[in-house]
Amino acid sequence: VCSSDLSLERSFPSSSLNRALVWRLLGTHGITCGMWANKTILLVLCGSPSRRNVLEHIAVHKPRIVCVHQCVSWATDLVAEWIVAPCDDRPASLTIVQDYVKRTGEKFDAVVSYDEFGLALGSLLALHLNLPFLDQDLVEKCRDKFQFRKFCQEHNIPSPHYVHLDLNLVCDPAVCSPEHHKLAGFKFDANIAHIATCIEQTLTANNLSFPIVIKPTHGAGKMCTRRADTALEAAEAVCMLHERMDEYIFRWRMTFDEARGMVIEEYLQGGPEVDADCLVQNGKLVFMCINENREASEPWFLESGGMTPPLTLTQQQQLDLRALSEQLFHACGPTLTATVHFEAKYTPRGIIPIELNLRLGGAETFTMVKAAYGVDLIREAVRMQLGEQLDPAAFPDPILRPLGIFASSTNIQPNYQGTGLITELIVPPTLVAHPAHVASSIFFKQGDTIRLPPDGNHYLGWIVARGASRDEAEHNLQTLIALIHLRIEPFPPVAKV
């Protein structure tokens, strides 16, 4: 067993927690560090530095990692070789990888991607390398929020009421074409009333009413996603997307068409929003755990963290979610083999899927699941890509047989609006040394500029704490948050040309 796993076990103060974690870590797979020493993995995008802990949990098993990325990036100590390619140009990237294989004679044993924007490229590369991966059509259906809504409807799976927003109608095509999508040509003030009118007409024609949620069809991190109570607020979200389109194309490795699509859907009300983190092999559910999200900060839906096992859901409500997940995975077909991050909301008319992400959840997800259930989602994902068959009996059942370990997380959202300068940020060593601290990641440092809504969708970072009960885990989390000292000063506005 890897030393990183044992350090988790030693840090639990409760003997009952120790027994539960030891049962998971020592009682099943017989996994050892270095077990992939004779394997070569093609990693498609390494993600941001906040994904370091995920990549480390692959590297600890000693595979040779070759990474396709747009540049030599932060993971130089974990990656054996880089294939530099324009990852938003998939055909060009395929040619570069094929040339690399022909030149070096490299033989890959698996294609792996834990990055949302590596899935489409990974699917293309795996197809031509004759290696298992996600089906290309399924990747696109799940990545495109509009297509995912249609997919759910076609398979009698609940869906919000929705409509695709045709940006060719609401915006001047001359300034929205790939050749002219720079900011200089888009007259925001002049067009916003026209955009608002088009949105109102679209809602009326599709029997939708305010409040609504407007979001890009592609993307992550709630970028340009907001609740809109008026047509003007919805129009502002359209303008925001166009204003930042160049940034998103570069940051998220998207094509132009992917970056500019938008969907409008009903604002779902009712019970909590949840994340289900699953291992799925050949279309069958192997493992599933549920994280109940804290209420997001509206109107921008800034994520605030959550609790696993869930805080308020009954066992039956959790079983209902599992049944819906199995229905969804069955609809995806027998080729679905992946770590899946499934988002849904409990509403008066039942549980409604929001997103189906065919990869590991972002931010603190990996750490939360490992802390509460001892399941290493990325390790299991790589095992599946290498062709190993997972045994569902080897995994805990958090719904029917909870382990009695609780993990609570927060995404640190400063009490500030707009763009600011971080003039003070102190994260004392006592935070990491605290016995309830599982993991944390702070994305910024003193002197950095942070862009909070409406200027951007930054947040300071995340923290995960644990406890022997929900109350203890939550108390421990608040104790850790209180240790951080943060001060943000207004940033001088940049004059628009």
Give the model's pLDDT for residue 440.
95
Asked whether the predicted pLDDT for residue 358 surpasses 90, the reply is: yes
Q: What is the mean pLDDT of residues 235-257?
A: 77
Separation of alpha carbons 155 and 329, rounded Å: 11
Asked whether the predicted pLDDT for residue 238 surpasses 50, the reply is: yes
Q: What is the mean pLDDT of residues 367-394?
A: 97
Q: What is the mean pLDDT of residues 346-364?
A: 95
Asked whether the predicted pLDDT for residue 199 surpasses 60, the reply is: yes
Q: What is the mean pLDDT of residues 290-299?
A: 94
Asked whether the predicted pLDDT for residue 239 surpasses 90, the reply is: no
Asked whether the predicted pLDDT for residue 32 surpasses 70, the reply is: no
Residue, of 104 and 1, whose pLDDT is higher? 104
Q: What is the mean pLDDT of residues 127-137?
A: 97
Least confident of 113-117, 350-354, 416-420: 416-420
Asked whether the predicted pLDDT for residue 189 surpasses 60, the reply is: no
Give the model's pLDDT for residue 182.
38
| CA count, 13 A, side-chain hemisphere, 282 | 6
Quick one: CA dihedral 184, 189, 194, 200, positive or negative? Answer: positive
Question: What are 425-447's pLDDT values in tens digits?
Answer: 999 999 999 999 999 999 999 99
Give the model's pLDDT for residue 170.
66
Query: Using CA atoms in the order 249, 254, 255, 257, what is the torsion angle rounded to 10 degrees?
Result: -90
Asked whether the predicted pLDDT for residue 185 surpasses 50, the reply is: no
